[in-house]
Amino acid sequence: MKRLMTAMMVAGLLGCPITSSQAERVGIDATRIIYRADSYAATALLRNSSKEAVYLMQVTVSSIPDGSKTAPFLVTPPLFRMEPGSQNQVRIIKTGQALPADRESLFWFTAQAIPLSTQSNNLSGKQISGGVQVLANTIKLMYRPSGLPVAPEKGFGALRFKTTAEGITITNPSPYYITFTSLKVGGQELMTKQQKENMVSPFSTLFLPLKGVHYPAKVSWTVINDLGGGSTYQEEIP
């Protein structure tokens, strides 16, 4: 599945205004990146499907979604120009900092695209933070240690559910970050547009409000797997 850039106004204007169609022409060909500890590097493919627009790309990895906190990864190349109709592969290399060996660690991979006009072909890195209109896309990067005791698909299906009068508690006994695209209890969908929390961390719990369900009830959940698709599981809550 392809993730498309969404336009984000930072400040000022460079060249001509950015339209929604321009934003849809720059993207990352992945919904997530799995960095396996036994690999020297992970890769991500960026594409510019526009027939005319030229972009200056800035690529980073951060410990938080807004990109403001550094992470122990080096991205190469971190800054490059993308011509119309081109693709570019970047490499993500872990640096020296030790990370937990018993669970995944979560980071955020961000690609920012600055549209270039004929007057801005020599845009410098300093100018990127000085007020331009940016197309930005952020996806999750999971660092996965070697030798975890359970396979990802089995971990995704190992969730435990406990209900109360106020809602449902989801326990993740696995070493993986699990992101829901759907969670239904008794036919009631919990992953609505209003539900902001859609991920449960390794060895952690997530509480969701839930009312009006009669038990026993069937619970089914669909999560994003390593390939970016969906894997679905179900069980019954007594």
Grade residue 122 by pLDDT with cuts at 50, 70 and 90.
low
Residues 140 and 185 in one domain: no
Q: Is residue 4 in a domain? A: no
Domain that holds residue 101: 26-116+134-144
- Residue 12: CB atoms within 10 A of its CB come to 9
Task: Say what the pLDDT of residue 219 is.
Answer: 97
Residues 139 and 169 in one domain: no
Last residue of a domain, one of 144, 164, 193: 144
Is the pLDDT at 135 greater than 70, yes or no? Answer: yes
Residues 139 and 228 in one domain: no
CATH code for position 181: 2.60.40.10
Residues 140 and 171 in one domain: no
Q: Is residue 124 in a domain? A: no
Q: Is residue 11 in a domain? A: no
Q: CB-hemisphere CA count at 13 Å for 123?
A: 26
Grade residue 103 by pLDDT with cuts at 50, 70 and 90.
very high
Residues 184 and 221 in one domain: yes
- Residue 161: CB atoms within 10 A of its CB come to 17
Residues 94 and 197 in one domain: no
Q: Token digits for 122?
A: 């020599």
Residues 140 and 183 in one domain: no
Name the domain count of the chain.
Answer: 2
Distance, in Å, from the CA atom of 112 to the CA atom of 48, rounded to the nearest integer, reads: 12
Average pLDDT, the chain: 86
What percentage of the chain exceeds 90 in pLDDT? 69
Q: Tell me whether strands 133-144 and 32-36 are parallel, antiparallel or unpaired.
A: parallel
Compute CA distances 197 → 17, 35, 171, 175, 216, whole Å.
Answer: 34, 24, 14, 19, 25
Residues 97 and 158 in one domain: no
Average pLDDT over residues 119-128: 48
Task: Say what the pLDDT of residue 11 is.
Answer: 30
Task: Say what the pLDDT of residue 165 is.
Answer: 86
> 119: left (phi > 0), else alpha (psi -120 to 50), else beta?
alpha
Residues 140 and 162 in one domain: no
Write out pLDDT tens, residues 12-64: 333 344 444 444 578 999 999 999 999 999 999 999 998 889 999 999 999 99
Distance, in Å, from the CA atom of 89 to the CA atom of 87, rounded to the nearest integer, reads: 7
Residues 140 and 176 in one domain: no
Write out pLDDT tens, residues 139-171: 999 999 999 999 999 999 999 999 988 999 999
Q: Is residue 9 in a domain? A: no
Q: Is residue 16 in a domain? A: no
Residues 166 and 138 in one domain: no
Residues 79 and 165 in one domain: no
Q: Which among 215, 221, 218 is positioned nearest to 235, based on CA atoms? A: 218
70 DSSP 8-state letter? B
Alpha helical stretches, state H, 41-85: none
